[in-house]
């Protein structure tokens, strides 16, 4: 379905012209302070957030970022706009000259910015050859407005939507928070218009949040209420198609809006500002009355999905997930944050900016005969109680989320200083904020 067809034709749902009517309705209500009033409790800080509409949500946007070259750390909409501009320039420069390795580096930086490095960085590094061409061809399809041309095996998820948002024209980030907020808007539209079912063209798929296994109260990203239901989001071409539809709708809403703050002059594009408002709203949605009664506040959160990974030396498959306390392997091993911090600080103290080896032979490390590397640093970090070979999996995970960099040509590792030490080599390394970023979205 082309853009013009989607925005201009009838939907096959319960309401004729529902897409166009929803666009008119939202364009006329962008400035409403009561219709889109929302509040929730931030699970990490305990802070209560209250928004008087979408404009207020945009003004109070927050996302902590650091490690983007040339951009100081920050958490405001303006500082994130600067970070995204720098990342866009890096991506476009890499694609302009067809440089696969530069494209990979830039895309990995986007993943780290968005807290979606797990799984995505490893995929990008594994598929570096031809990556520039893939990103160019997919962007061309997205710009064509015909999602039917998307490759059936296209990798498209919460990470890749961030990459393509910097490459495609007027293309928003469609992650679980934005998807939740879009569905929340559709529910309000349906309720105001007496619809008992969500029109097919407005059934934006939703995805659950990433939760720590010990979360007492999981965040709700399912916008469904009282019979108004939405499908689950699946990665791949379907995600990309709904990403396009969401971008088309919001773009058309802004074209019809004449009075809200979103269309007032700003250095930040209006579509990006509206996306930011949805991002803030979609952190946690209210549950339906029935669901609220059925779910006590003490219910444990469902475990997040395991992420597939491979050790670099022997390509042994394993699975991991990240929580507030560190990294957990599916086979049972756990690497606490304090152990990881001690290991990384020891590597920096011994090697500085120089690369190092894995060097994690159990016998050699324990006998103090191994070349200094990750194995010895890990052993020291566990106060000589850890198993040095376990550092193979730990190193692979840290590379997966961008903390360590691995050079397969030289079989060497290095600290990602841009991620760990954005202000130089001052103060101790602490990966706590990185683990929090990876589970926050």
In a domain, 287, yes or no: yes
pLDDT of residue 181: 98
d(CA 109, CA 106): 5
Instruction: Please say whether the beta carbons of 222 and 173 come within 8 A.
Output: no
pLDDT of residue 324: 80
pLDDT of residue 10: 44
Taking residue 48's Cβ as centre, other Cβ atoms within 10 Å add up to 9
State whether residue 40 is helix, strand or coil.
Answer: strand
Nearest to 189 by CA among 308, 346, 21: 21
Q: Tell me: do 280 and 385 sit in the same domain.
A: no
In a domain, 123, yes or no: yes
Q: Tell me: do 89 and 116 sit in the same domain.
A: yes
pLDDT of residue 236: 96
Q: pTM for the complete prediction? A: 0.85
Q: Tell me: do 117 and 248 sit in the same domain.
A: yes
User: What is the count of structural domains for the chain?
Assistant: 2
d(CA 259, CA 251): 15
Q: Which domain holds residue 319?
A: 307-439
For residue 187, with 0-12 CB atoms within 10 Å meaning exposed, 13-18 middle and 19 or more buried, which class applies?
A: buried
In a domain, 398, yes or no: yes
In a domain, 300, yes or no: no
Q: Tell me: do 196 and 287 sit in the same domain.
A: yes
Nearest to 249 by CA among 23, 30, 25, 28: 23
Biggest CA pair distance of the chain? 76
Show which of 269, 294, 319 is a domain's final residue.
294
State whether residue 193 is helix, strand or coil.
Answer: coil
- Angle at CA of residue 118, ends 398 and 183, nearest 5°: 155
- State both tokens at 224: 């469904």
d(CA 304, CA 134): 29
Q: What share of the chain is helix, strand, coil (3-state, %, to 5)?
A: 45, 10, 45
Q: Tell me: do 285 and 336 sit in the same domain.
A: no
Show which of 263, 294, 325 is a domain's final residue.
294
Q: Tell me: do 350 and 284 sit in the same domain.
A: no
pLDDT of residue 37: 97
Element (DSSP H or E) covering residue 200: none
- State both tokens at 281: 């709203």
In a domain, 18, yes or no: yes
Q: Tell me: do 282 and 321 sit in the same domain.
A: no
pLDDT along the chain (441 residues), means of 10: 74 63 96 96 89 98 90 94 98 98 96 92 93 98 93 95 98 98 98 94 93 74 94 96 97 95 96 98 81 35 70 90 90 94 96 95 96 97 96 94 88 87 70 79 66
pLDDT of residue 302: 42
Taking residue 384's Cβ as centre, other Cβ atoms within 10 Å add up to 9
Q: Tell me: do 379 and 285 sit in the same domain.
A: no
d(CA 86, CA 71): 8
In a domain, 302, yes or no: no
Q: Tell me: do 269 and 354 sit in the same domain.
A: no
In a domain, 301, yes or no: no
Q: Tell me: do 331 and 279 sit in the same domain.
A: no
pLDDT of residue 33: 95
Show which of 245, 271, 294 is a domain's final residue.
294
In a domain, 177, yes or no: yes
Q: Tell me: do 237 and 146 sit in the same domain.
A: yes
pLDDT of residue 90: 98
DSSP 223: -
d(CA 316, CA 403): 20
d(CA 82, CA 39): 28
Q: Tell me: do 246 and 336 sit in the same domain.
A: no
pLDDT of residue 138: 97
Q: Which positions ≥6 away from 109 have C-beta within 8 Å? A: 67, 68, 69, 87, 90
pLDDT of residue 441: 66
Beta bridge partners of 41: 48
């Amino acid at each position: 379905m082309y853009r013009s067809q989607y925005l201009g034709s009838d939907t096959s749902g319960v309401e004729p012209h529902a897409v166009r009517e929803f666009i008119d309705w939202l364009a006329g209500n962008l400035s409403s302070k009561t219709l889109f009033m929302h509040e929730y409790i931030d699970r990490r800080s305990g802070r209560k957030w209250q928004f008087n509409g979408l404009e207020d949500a945009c003004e109070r946007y927050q996302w902590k970022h650091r490690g983007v070259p040339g951009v100081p750390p920050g958490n405001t909409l303006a500082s994130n706009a600067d970070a995204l501009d720098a990342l866009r320039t890096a991506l476009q420069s890499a694609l302009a000259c067809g440089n696969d390795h530069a494209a990979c580096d830039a895309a990995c930086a986007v993943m780290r910015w968005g807290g979606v490095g797990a799984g995505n960085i490893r995929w990008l590094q594994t598929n570096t050859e031809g990556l520039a061409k893939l990103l160019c061809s997919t962007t061309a399809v997205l710009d064509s407005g015909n999602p039917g041309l998307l490759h059936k095996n296209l990798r498209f998820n919460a990470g890749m939507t961030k990459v393509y948002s910097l490459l495609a024209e007027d293309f928003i980030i469609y992650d679980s928070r934005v998807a939740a907020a879009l569905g929340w808007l559709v529910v309000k539209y349906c309720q105001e218009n007496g619809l008992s079912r969500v029109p097919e063209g407005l059934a934006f798929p939703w995805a659950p949040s990433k939760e720590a296994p010990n979360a007492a109260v999981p965040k709700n990203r399912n916008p469904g209420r009282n019979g108004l239901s939405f499908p689950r989001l699946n990665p791949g071409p379907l995600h990309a198609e709904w990403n396009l539809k969401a971008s088309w709708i919001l773009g058309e809403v802004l074209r019809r809006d004449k009075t809200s703050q979103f269309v007032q002059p700003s250095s930040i594009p209006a579509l990006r500002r509206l996306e930011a408002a949805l991002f803030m709203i979609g952190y946690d949605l209210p549950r339906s009355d029935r669901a609220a009664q059925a779910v006590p506040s003490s219910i444990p959160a469902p475990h997040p999905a395991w992420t597939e990974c491979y050790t670099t030396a022997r390509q042994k498959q394993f699975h991991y997930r990240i929580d507030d306390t560190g990294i957990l392997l599916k086979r049972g091993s756990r690497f606490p944050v304090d152990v990881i911090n001690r290991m990384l600080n020891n590597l920096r103290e011994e090697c500085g900016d120089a690369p190092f080896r894995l060097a994690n032979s159990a016998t050699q490390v324990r006998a103090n005969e191994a070349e200094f590397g990750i194995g010895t640093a890990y052993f020291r970090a566990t106060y000589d109680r850890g198993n040095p070979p376990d550092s193979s999996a730990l190193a692979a995970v840290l590379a997966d989320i961008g903390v360590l960099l691995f050079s397969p040509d030289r079989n060497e590792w290095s600290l990602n200083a841009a991620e760990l030490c954005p202000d130089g080599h001052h103060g101790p390394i602490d990966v706590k904020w990185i683990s929090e970023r990876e589970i926050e979205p």
